[in-house]
């Protein structure tokens, strides 16, 4: 059987992120765009676009983010989630971390929330201790904890290169 590049990437994502199947939906099956109260994590850049971003994204890396696009909760039928996409994994998108967390805690087969972020300038580490500055647009899923102290400012990258910090685990 021949696989496309997209299928290979989805299979790699599935092996990295646990239960995710290689038949990913094109976008969120449900979106909660409501923002209420305060949050311990950055707000999304545009609540009206929550749920509209493609499901395939890079994974981690970069050390800095420019914008949070949405908070995602992946649901895994193999782990007991409702089968809204057959046996395939799918995600719901949220405008706030707190709503995503509340949903994930009460929903069978749900993973912990991840943040979908956009980077315009980031630091690539092709090998341990070797850093490269990259520019362009990169969209990635991050662990939510990585958002703390990682918002890129005008001097973030140059300050990082002067004194690199240890990789996040």
Q: How many CB atoms are closer than 10 A to CB 168?
A: 13
The DSSP output letter for 9 is H
Q: 168 lies in a domain?
A: no
Residue 2 has pLDDT above 80, yes or no: no
Residue 168 banded pLDDT, cuts 50, 70, 90: low
Rounded average pLDDT over 3-28: 52
Q: Which two three-digit tokens encode residue 54?
A: 């493609």
Residue 9: predicted pLDDT: 42
Q: Name the pLDDT band for 165 (thresholds 50, 70, 90).
A: confident
User: Rounded to two decimals, what is the model's pTM?
Assistant: 0.83
pLDDT at residue 39, rounded to an integer:
92
Provide the pLDDT for residue 95: 98
Q: What share of the chain is helix, strand, coil (3-state, %, to 5)?
A: 25, 35, 45
* 57 domain residue, yes or no: yes
pLDDT for the residue 16: 44
Residue 61, phi-psi category: left (phi > 0), alpha (psi -120 to 50), beta (remainder): left
Q: Give 166 or 98, the one with higher predicted confidence.
A: 98
Confidence at residue 26, expressed as pLDDT on a 0 to 100 scale: 81
Question: Do the beta carbons of residue 55 and residue 88 sit within 8 Å?
Answer: no
Q: Which residue has the tokens 């676009």?
A: 49
Asked if residue 85 belongs to a domain, the reply is yes
3-state secondary structure of 155: coil
Residues of the domain holding 128: 20-162
Domain count, the chain: 1
Over residues 74-97, the pLDDT tens digits come to 999 999 999 998 889 999 999 999
In a domain, 4, yes or no: no
């Amino acid at each position: 059987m021949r696989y496309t590049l997209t299928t290979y990437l989805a299979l790699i994502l599935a092996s990295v992120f646990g239960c995710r199947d290689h038949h990913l939906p094109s976008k969120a099956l449900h979106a909660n765009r409501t923002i209420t109260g305060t949050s311990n994590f950055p707000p999304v850049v545009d609540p009206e676009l929550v749920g509209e971003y493609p499901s395939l994204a890079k994974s981690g890396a970069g050390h800095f983010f420019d914008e949070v696009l949405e908070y995602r909760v992946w649901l895994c039928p193999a782990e007991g989630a409702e089968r809204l996409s057959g046996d395939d994994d799918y995600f719901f998108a949220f405008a706030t971390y707190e709503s995503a967390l509340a949903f994930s805690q009460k929903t069978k087969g749900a993973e912990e929330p991840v943040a979908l972020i956009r980077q315009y300038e980031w630091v690539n580490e092709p090998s341990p201790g070797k850093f490269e500055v990259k520019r362009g647009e990169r969209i990635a899923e991050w662990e939510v904890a990585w958002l703390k102290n990682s918002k890129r400012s005008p001097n973030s990258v140059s300050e990082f290169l002067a004194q690199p910090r240890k990789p996040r685990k």
